[in-house]
Amino acid sequence: MQGIASEFLLDLWPDRFTADQPTWQNNQWFVPVILAYPVIGAIGQAGEILINDASGKVISHTPLATMQQNGLDLYSDRKDDIEAAFS
């Protein structure tokens, strides 16, 4: 299920947003979407994707604009650490 969520994200954003470990909840897979950077790793959760177990289809996700804003907020919170890692 993590692979399905990763493919969904790659179609939208080529990097930084990635699928984390899925968990089984209420007969569906819950996959956190995290913002991550090389060297630093995951800096926080930006959203979630729900996947139907039987079909393997994405059935719901955090609105894309919300995920993007959450990612910007996470970046702002860790901006100094991120920039230091790449300088």
What does the pLDDT look like over 53-76, one tens digit per residue? 999 999 999 999 999 999 999 999
Query: b or e along 8-28 (b: 16 or more beta carbons within 10 Å of the residue's beta carbon)?
Result: bbeeeeeebbbbbebeeeeeb
Q: All domains of the chain, ordered by start, with CATH?
A: 2-85 (3.10.450)
**What mean pLDDT value characterizes the chain?**
94
pTM over cut 0.85 = yes
